[in-house]
Amino acid sequence: MDCPRCRTTLTAEPLNENELSFEIDKCHNCGGIWFDSGELAKIDKIIEPTMLEIRKIPNKTEQLKPLYCPSCSNHPRLKKAEHPRDKKVIVDYCPTCKGIWLDKGELEAIQKENWGITIGKIFKWLIGHE
C-alpha cells in the first residue's frame, strides 16, 4: 500500500496506547498514518493534557489537496472533514472502506489538549453540565 500524500510505500507498525495494541500503516517519508476502519476510533478519545499546545500540522492548503484511498483497489478520492475536537485538523477518509488518513502531527494535535480546557470539562462534568 502506498502513501496517499507522497506515494512512498507504507510500513505496517504496531501502535500501543493505553493497553490497546494494533497495527497502523505509516509513511516514513512524510510521516502520515493510515488507519483501517475503526482503528482511529479506538484511540481518538485519548486526551493528553498539556500546558502549552503547539500544533505541528500541515497548513490548510496542504491539508485540502486531493488524496486517493491507498487501501481500495479502485483508489476513490478521500473525503475531507474537520476533526470534531480540533477544527484545524482536516482528516481524510474513504467513504468506501472507512479508512482514515492523518498527516504528520495531526494525531498528536487531536490528542493534546490545553490544561485549561481539560479542567473546564472536568468542572462541567462535576456539576452535571456536560
Q: Write the pLDDT tens digit of every residue in 53-110.
A: 566 888 889 999 999 999 999 999 999 999 887 788 899 999 999 999 999 999 888 8
**Residue 114: is its pLDDT beyond 60?**
no
Q: Is 64 inside any structural domain?
A: yes
Q: What is the pLDDT of residue 46?
A: 66
What total of structural domains would you count in the chain?
1
Q: Is 102 inside any structural domain?
A: yes
Q: What is the pLDDT of residue 83?
A: 86
In whole angstroms, give the CA distance from residue 86 to residue 27: 23
Structural domain range at position 102: 11-127
What is the layout of strands, in order, in the sheet containing 20-26? 11-17, 20-26, 33-35, 100-102, 90-93, 79-82
Contact in structure between 78 and 67 (CB atoms under 8 Å): yes
Q: Is 3 inside any structural domain?
A: no
Indicate the pTM of the whole model: 0.79
User: What percentage of the chain exceeds 70 in pLDDT?
Assistant: 78
Q: What is the pLDDT of residue 43?
A: 81
Q: Is 108 inside any structural domain?
A: yes
Q: Is 6 inside any structural domain?
A: no
Q: Is 83 inside any structural domain?
A: yes
Q: Is 46 inside any structural domain?
A: yes
Q: Is 2 inside any structural domain?
A: no
Q: What is the pLDDT of residue 121?
A: 55
Which of the pair, 129 or 39, is modelled with greater confidence?
39
